[in-house]
Structure 1
Amino acid sequence: MNEHLQRHGVLLDIDGVLHVGNEAVNGATEVLQWLRAREVPHRFITNTSTRTAEALAEQLGGMGLDVTADQIFSVVTATQRYLQDRGHQRPLLIVNDTVRAAFSKADSDPEDPDCVVIGDIGPRWDHALLDRLFRALMQGAELIAMHRNRYWQRAEGLCLDIGCYVAGLEYAAQVEATVVGKPNAAFFQLAAADMALDPAQCLMVGDDIDSDVAGAQAAGIRGLLVQTGKYRDTALQRAAVTPDAVLPSIAALPDWLQAEGG
């Protein structure tokens, strides 16, 4: 066992790093096997708001990626915990039906919501829904965003993500959203603590310069950017942060880790 490698904790984004669409990124399966064989601590940290950790693990397994639900830090689970910690009992849940059951203990369609929770609902966004959320915020409901990603990568290309709706509601209601997932530093730090490592001992591998790299660096974690998924040269060029490394894909991670230990 390489003691240097064991001193690293690796956080891996899922969508765009391990897979794009329904296909694993070339080399991703082998990298996960490499990490396990060398007992390198690693966790999976994701803003995916349409699947629970259990469903994500099952989906990844179907692509040949060996990931267990207890290794996944899901924004769905984190949002559920946030609502419980804050004592919210009447959330207005704007979430995918696939994860609604995770919030079954709360009244998810109240007349007088104490918060508005925004996740990915695909094409269901319309003006009437935005008006309803705006009115709830103007009456004092807290705006909670599972994340505020600008866009994401699908097989057919880049697609708008929920960040544009979050930003619009913030502007109209003159409020600031609580963002539960990346780039919230607490989200990264929770995953680092689960490996019993300090943030400075960890690195984050992601395809999003803002949510993954900037968020990790703000939490004291090194941020590595891969050129798969939503990666675009233009986004890197205009970013306010500099990645600690840029890798062509996750397949290059073992060589980078070994070079760091040299």
Structure 2
Amino acid sequence: MSIRGVLIDLSGTIHIDKKVIPGAIEAIQRLKASNIPFRFATNTTKVSSKKLVQKLTGLGFDVEEKDVFTSLSACRDMIESKQLRPMLLMEDEAMEEFKGLDTDKPNAVVIGLAPSKFNYEKLNQAFRLIISDPINVALIAVHKAKYFADKDEKLSMGPGGFVQALEFATGATANVVGKPTVEFFQLALKQLEMESSPQHVAIIGDDVCNDLGGGAKELGLHRFLVQTGKYRKDDSNASEGINVFKSVVEAIDHIIEQYEKRQ
């Protein structure tokens, strides 16, 4: 195994809400000291990238904005490149990511994890916009995760079910931006300057499908599943080709050990 770069999931992998995974802060410090390039690659959509970094530093992590690549930032890039005017189903704390975009007379519905907006009135508004012009109004999902580990360490519904409700009602197929799409991982690899050598990059996450499936598998990344966050025992049974670790601490230490042996 030759790992020269690392992508690390956030929620469920290094923290759960305001609770840090034991040893994660020190493990990230060791990774930085090893000079192995890494990025936090996350589908977190409830807050903007700036607020996310503030939260992580508040938890004790030494993190800069350049260290974090989110599905929200990838989504904004898509909206701008396609010159869309989005109706944004986002939490207020995530709206900062889309500041300055033209939202007048929307021609796209963009949906992230927005518990306070997932009500009949808002979803019906999105439904009516899409069916008003199904050819020209796009449905964009920041991601379609089924669930996530919430602050009480129990599972809560992700945005996937709400996205599928709109797909079912409108007949539209959502364009998914975040993990596990190939495009998301390609953009993350580009930030590491390793887009041409994905076989030398590892992804560490707690979601066997959204972190380690799809693009991560297709591109040939080393896939490390941690037994924290949304991990369930059944995940190990469906983890062919995936290395399973107790936590991000063991996964990072394994990567550093293998890296130093090759120096």
Instruction: Check the 8 A contact 2:89/2:117 in 1, yes or no.
Output: no
Distance 1:50 1:12 in 2: 18
Unaligned segments of structure 2, at least 5 residues: none
| Cα shift at 1:243 | 4.6
Match of 1:63 among 59, 77, 96: 59
Instruction: Check the 8 A contact 1:24/1:65 in 2, yes or no.
Output: no
| Cα shift at 1:129 | 2.0
Instruction: Check the 8 A contact 2:34/2:256 in 1, yes or no.
Output: no
The 1:164/1:236 distance shift into structure 2, 3 A limit, reads farther
Distance 1:35 1:201 in 2: 16
Residue 242 of structure 2 corresponds to 244
Measured on the aligned residues, the alpha-carbon RMSD in Å equals 1.8
Residue 132 of structure 1 corresponds to 125
Residue 150 of structure 1 corresponds to 146
The C-alpha deviation readout for 1:192-224, integer Å capped at 9, x for no partner, is: 122222211101000001100103112321211
Match of 1:14 among 10, 13, 37: 10
Q: How many residues align?
A: 253
Instruction: Check the 8 A contact 1:186/1:219 in 2, yes or no.
Output: no
Task: Give the letter for the 2:117 counterpart.
Answer: R
Residue 118 of structure 1 corresponds to 111
Residue 194 of structure 1 corresponds to 191
| Cα shift at 1:183 | 0.7
Instruction: Check the 8 A contact 1:224/1:243 in 2, yes or no.
Output: no
Instruction: Check the 8 A contact 1:225/1:243 in 2, yes or no.
Output: no
Distance 2:241 2:48 in 1: 29
**Mapping for residues 163-182 of structure 1, pairs under 5 Å:** 163-182=160-179
Unaligned segments of structure 1, at least 5 residues: none
**Which stretch has the larger CA shift, 67-76 or 123-132?**
123-132
The C-alpha deviation readout for 1:110-139, integer Å capped at 9, x for no partner, is: 4x4210000122133122222221121222
Give the secondary-structure state (helix, strand or coil) at the position aligned to 1:204.
Answer: strand
| Cα shift at 1:28 | 0.6
Task: Give the letter for the 2:76 counterpart.
Answer: Q
Give the secondary-structure state (helix, strand or coil) at the position aligned to 2:234.
Answer: helix
When normalised by structure 1's length, the TM-score is 0.90
The 1:158/1:53 distance shift into structure 2, 3 A limit, reads same
2:219 corresponds to 1:219: yes
| Cα shift at 1:149 | 0.6
Give the secondary-structure state (helix, strand or coil) at the position aligned to 2:51.
Answer: helix
**Which stretch has the larger CA shift, 244-253 or 124-133?**
124-133
2:88 corresponds to 1:85: no
Distance 1:105 1:220 in 2: 37
Distance 2:162 2:218 in 1: 24
Residue 100 of structure 2 corresponds to 105
Task: Give the letter for the 1:220 counterpart.
Answer: G
Residue 208 of structure 1 corresponds to 207
